[in-house]
Structure 1
Amino acid sequence: MPVFKAATVLRLLPIPIVLIIYYTFVQIRIHSDATYFRLPLWATTNAPPSFRTKAATASSFNLTETKSTFSPAMKDFWNDLSLSLEDARPQCPPLQVKDGHPTSLETTFEPLNISKIPPARLVNFTDEHETVLSASHYLMRNSVQRLAPRLVFSKGSQGIVTTANPKYIPIFLVSLRMLRRTGCQLPVEVFIDNWTKYDPIVCDSVLPSLNAACVVLSEIYDTAPNIRPPASYQFKLFALLFSSFQHTLFFDSDAFPAHDPTSLFSTHPYTTHGLVVWPDLFGLTVSEHYYHIAGIPYESPSTRPSTESGIVLLDKEKQRESLLMMVYYNYYGPEYYYSLLCQGSHGAGDKETFVQAAMAVGAPWYQVKTGVVGLGYFEHGKYRLSGLAQMDPRSDFAYGPPSKSHIHPENRWQEAEGGGWEAQVRPKPWFVHQNMHKLNPTRILEMDGTTAKTRSGNYTRMWGDREGVVEMFGYDVERRVWEVIVEEGCRLDEASEVCMKLGEYFAEVFGTVDSIDE
């Protein structure tokens, strides 16, 4: 056995001490900082939900758990609201609508056709239906007046709200990165329906790095007894209801701003109305029976276009009662109000519940008058629509565009008309709703009919030539979109096939991958 001198032992002694200190420090960091805590892939995919939740919260701080902890005041309010929703349940069979969509004649917005009437597509709708629905509506309207003063939110706060599930998270991350590219620093709350949809990496690492956080809707929703679980369009209104912000911008996971939306909260029409919505491509198809049920004046289909509800500005202080009626219309939407308000039209669902709820309680609302613009391009004489551009509500409110008429075929001023209407005062697009071909980095180049490829399979811009995009938005917003798609598509693995194909696309269509923001 070798013999060590005392001096040698003393020289070697610090080594294990350093190793012990290092190991202890690393363990502390792993267990105290969520950004250092990484689960193995099997733990985030195949493991049971209960294990995923416990494993992800092994750190001392979990942002999703914190954001999903609702106050006793919110729980009490929701309990009372849920009872009122059930008390006002319509006591008649669900409504039915004729199969298919209304005809183009029925859904075309015709402001000069003052004799135009809504489609009559309800099947076997009787006076008994109307009487029962009217009584239930009246009951809920009374409950709303009682509950509205107790609506819970953080007074004066501003923020952005959306909903997403695992399928739409990649699409939303593109939208979120586009939001941050505008310079907007507003906080974002992303509502997921329950813990089975929770991804610890996305919710507690990726999103917080972009000033966003997941909120688990079931943590508050399920506290009410005998309440039915939400589905589809209903999630949007419950996200708005339970969000912490007073001043809220909601956009769908496939929508995003082209410019910083923060200033919209401090200018007209938001400050005067508290509810701002944007138009759709179609006309109103609200049933005449709805106005009898709600006890409000009839609104002609020639008055305004239908609502494109992928983007909404809402002030909870001004719209307390409206918001609760929106919740009611959506809670009973699939059985009753989606049929009454949309009658199976394009985008049937929550789209008309916003304005109609405000009308039902006599609250102000503003729908942008400048019409929505399609984003796409012509190929062999046929237009390939990719998404929609929605206009700046501030300049829309300020300058008052013309309605369609025999001398104005479009609901916007034309260059040739002059009259002092310079290009910079006419509304320009502020938002994009890419609802035709979702911007999922893993699928955008491969999905059937993608507008990122011509019919012959060649790569191309989705929204037309660069000059047209710059003229419309003020800069090449499509190039920025593809920078973000490449960024998100390559986030996990720069050597992946998806990342390589996105890079090839960008190089061929836009040139070198150097950010315009730099």
Structure 2
Amino acid sequence: MAVTRKQISIAIASFLLVSLALLVASNHSGVSRHIITTTSFNNASISRPTTSSITTTSASDAPNVCSKARLNPHHVQAPLDPDIGALTSFWPELKTALVDHGTDLPTINRPHFQSSRPTLEAIRARTDLLTPEEALLVRKRHAAFVADIPAYPSNTFGGRGIVMLAGGHYSEYAATALGVLRESGSTLPVEVWRRDEREEKHEWCDEIEAEGMACRRLSDYLDTDILAIQDGKEMKIFTMLFSNFEEIVFIDADNMALQPPELLFDSMEYRETGAVLWPDFRRYDNVDWLDYIVGLAPDRSEALWEQTTAESGQIVWDKQRHWKALLLATYYNYYGPDLYYTLLNCGYAGWGDKDTFPLALRALEEPFFTVPHAPESAWVSERVDDRRVGMLQMAPPSISPSSRGKDAAHEGQGDGEAASAFFLHATTIKWSHRDFLCLECLPIWYTDAPSDPFFSRYESVGDELYGRLHGNLPIMDDGALGQYYMPADNNGSARAAATGAVEVRIWRAMEFAACRSRAWRHARACDVGRRYMQATFGFTFASGSAGVEEEVDWIPGMEAEACLIDPS
């Protein structure tokens, strides 16, 4: 058979392409890659740019793991797909009880927000929000619901894990908080909840599965339209209720764990009570009918006014031991926006679900532990006592701070024990890579108007952090952080290193989202973030494919295979 000139040309081209491919493969088989090993950093896996930590390994012998250092080094398995039918088996009976014992409850309008705590006279005047007859009716309905609480559904829940309510803009904060969670060294599985499909970020759920996490839709468990949905305040209780886990650490999406949350399950306080709560900054300003309504007082009572309210950015809860209290808290939240939230709060900071948890535990006289250390403020740098980043919540006393650095310990309140920070709840400054770093990002949530531009803090000249971001200055002041938190391997060095430890973790998580996450990454945000991190903290990069052993002095683009290395 005759061979045409065209066939000869195709054969020659094919031979050249195959030869070239073999040559490239041969060259790459001998290329060494940087594998950044991890060292203990307060039980976290964080890369260190030490001489011993950088080794050269043949690419054929080991994968390049340095650009995925935070991705599940402990091989945590994601929670399995739930049996929703089993998990909601109690819901028809509970919903009936909720409706039957609340249809004729009085309604109280939400109070106007107040910028400062009201006077004692103003708090006392709130008695008039309920007449004695209305208070008696609410008391009777409350007692009837308690008598009607469904029994604990045996063989339904199991195991320990973290529950986080995200969705919409809060998914951006969760992307940071979940990164910091894994940086803390936590090996707990995580459920990330959203209200429904409208609050989902494309590809994110598939992505976090590799980190031992799973997404859940609350709308798969109940009709969320029955809820008034006041800024998500009523949804928290339902994520705890329907979670597959029996023992839960609930964490807000804007709350960052500085120590592994599983330590809380092993604490003496949790083992003895099955429920651990944390205090808020302020005292109660509830309507004085409250203790009467829940059966703790024979008449109006002002006893709560000298006590500190709770803060629900983190809650540790054993559902089996405190099932009745969880369902009673569900009752308070079900009728929260129209009644119980305002009975608990006069409109100052904290109107919502947060105090429904201790109220339910107290009403049923179930044991619980409140951490005796008051929260401390984390401040914006150079704006101490003026602009709060968020609150530091302390570890329970039985979790010794000695292993976290004794020099950082501070005398706590209540029991004389040393306090160490366990959570940084970003109540004021929210840590989102989009909000901090985006340049010309498009709106992505269904609540955003498509025609409205999105301006990040880096773009908005009038934003309070604009100058710090453009001036390559740290966001957080080192005062409280350095006083209450230090990494275990700090060896008594400057307290400022403690702040660096926390903010370094946060920026690692935001760099991951901006540069490496399939769901979140954005080239311009990645470039802005990496340049800021290098100039501000001294982050460096190592090539993920080059055969050199030293670090390289460049800012890699989003598509580059590069290792992020912490400041020394």
TM-score by length of 1: 0.74
2:100 matched to which residue of 1? 87
**Change in 2 beyond 3 A, CA 1:468/1:354:** closer
Q: Give the gaps of 5 or more residues in structure 2.
A: 15-76, 403-409, 438-455, 488-500, 541-563
1:326 matched to which residue of 2? 329
SS of aligned partner of 1:310:
strand
1:440 matched to which residue of 2? 432
8 Å contact from structure 1 (residues 387, 435) kept in 2: yes
SS of aligned partner of 2:481:
helix
Distance 1:389 1:65 in 2: 29
Distance 1:318 1:482 in 2: 38
1:192 matched to which residue of 2? 194
1:176 matched to which residue of 2? 178
Q: 1:293 is aligned with what amino acid? A: I
Distance 2:163 2:363 in 1: 24
1:345 is aligned to 2:354: no
SS of aligned partner of 1:121:
helix
- Partner deviation per Cα, 1:362-421 (whole Å, 9 max, x = no partner): 11111111110000146377522111100001348999xxxxxxxxxx98369xxxx9x7
Q: Please tell me the root mean square deviation across aligned C-alpha atoms, in Å.
A: 3.5
After the TM superposition, which residues 310-325 of structure 1 pair with which residues of structure 2 at under 5 Å, given as runs?
310-325=313-328
8 Å contact from structure 1 (residues 322, 361) kept in 2: yes
8 Å contact from structure 2 (residues 197, 217) kept in 1: yes
After the TM superposition, which residues 294-313 of structure 1 pair with which residues of structure 2 at under 5 Å, given as runs?
294-297=294-297, 298=301, 300-301=303-304, 303-313=306-316
Task: For residue 507 of structure 1, report the CA deviation from its aligned partner.
Answer: 1.9
Distance 1:64 1:257 in 2: 19
1:267 matched to which residue of 2? 267
**Change in 2 beyond 3 A, CA 1:357/1:380:** closer
After the TM superposition, which residues 277-296 of structure 1 pair with which residues of structure 2 at under 5 Å, given as runs?
277-296=277-296
Q: Give the gaps of 5 or more residues in structure 1.
A: 16-62, 108-115, 400-409
Task: For residue 307 of structure 1, report the CA deviation from its aligned partner.
Answer: 1.0
1:67 is aligned to 2:92: no
Distance 1:65 1:247 in 2: 14
Distance 2:324 2:107 in 1: 25
**Change in 2 beyond 3 A, CA 1:252/1:299:** farther
1:100 matched to which residue of 2? 113
Return structure 1 stretches of 4+ with deviation > 4 angstroms: 2-5, 63-66, 116-119, 226-231, 396-399, 448-457, 492-495
1:504 is aligned to 2:531: yes
1:258 matched to which residue of 2? 258
Distance 2:213 2:229 in 1: 23
Distance 2:397 2:412 in 1: 15
SS of aligned partner of 2:168:
coil
SS of aligned partner of 2:386:
strand
**Change in 2 beyond 3 A, CA 1:515/1:468:** farther
8 Å contact from structure 1 (residues 369, 411) kept in 2: no
8 Å contact from structure 2 (residues 468, 474) kept in 1: no
Distance 1:97 1:512 in 2: 48
SS of aligned partner of 1:279:
strand
Once the two structures are overlaid, the 10-residue window that deviates more, 367-376 or 93-102, is: 93-102
8 Å contact from structure 2 (residues 108, 342) kept in 1: yes
- Partner deviation per Cα, 1:332-357 (whole Å, 9 max, x = no partner): 10001001112222021001100000
SS of aligned partner of 2:260:
coil
Distance 2:344 2:327 in 1: 17
After the TM superposition, which residues 226-241 of structure 1 pair with which residues of structure 2 at under 5 Å, given as runs?
227-228=226-227, 230=229, 232-241=232-241
After the TM superposition, which residues 101-250 of structure 1 pair with which residues of structure 2 at under 5 Å, given as runs?
101=114, 103-104=116-117, 106=119, 118-121=123-126, 124-144=129-149, 147-150=150-153, 153-155=156-158, 157-204=159-206, 206-222=207-223, 227-228=226-227, 230=229, 232-250=232-250
8 Å contact from structure 2 (residues 161, 245) kept in 1: yes
**Change in 2 beyond 3 A, CA 1:74/1:470:** same
**Change in 2 beyond 3 A, CA 1:169/1:100:** closer
**Change in 2 beyond 3 A, CA 1:311/1:354:** same
- Partner deviation per Cα, 1:43-99 (whole Å, 9 max, x = no partner): xxxxxxxxxxxxxxxxxxxx999735413x433311111111111114144113543
Q: 2:97 is aligned with what amino acid? A: S
1:110 matched to which residue of 2? none
8 Å contact from structure 2 (residues 397, 418) kept in 1: no
8 Å contact from structure 1 (residues 274, 315) kept in 2: yes
Aligned residues: 429
1:479 is aligned to 2:504: yes
TM-score by length of 2: 0.68
Task: For residue 103 of structure 1, report the CA deviation from its aligned partner.
Answer: 4.0
Identity of counterpart residues, as a percentage? 25
Distance 1:299 1:291 in 2: 9
Distance 1:261 1:517 in 2: 25
- Partner deviation per Cα, 1:453-509 (whole Å, 9 max, x = no partner): 5589634222213x7634421132112211211221222487722111112221222
Task: For residue 291 of structure 1, report the CA deviation from its aligned partner.
Answer: 1.0
8 Å contact from structure 1 (residues 97, 123) kept in 2: no
Distance 2:129 2:510 in 1: 48
Once the two structures are overlaid, the 10-residue window that deviates more, 388-397 or 427-436, is: 388-397
Distance 1:371 1:455 in 2: 29
Pick the aligned partner of 1:428 from 411, 414, 420: 420
8 Å contact from structure 1 (residues 483, 515) kept in 2: no
Distance 1:97 1:105 in 2: 16
1:76 is aligned to 2:55: no
Distance 1:487 1:336 in 2: 43
SS of aligned partner of 2:354:
helix
**Change in 2 beyond 3 A, CA 1:267/1:395:** closer
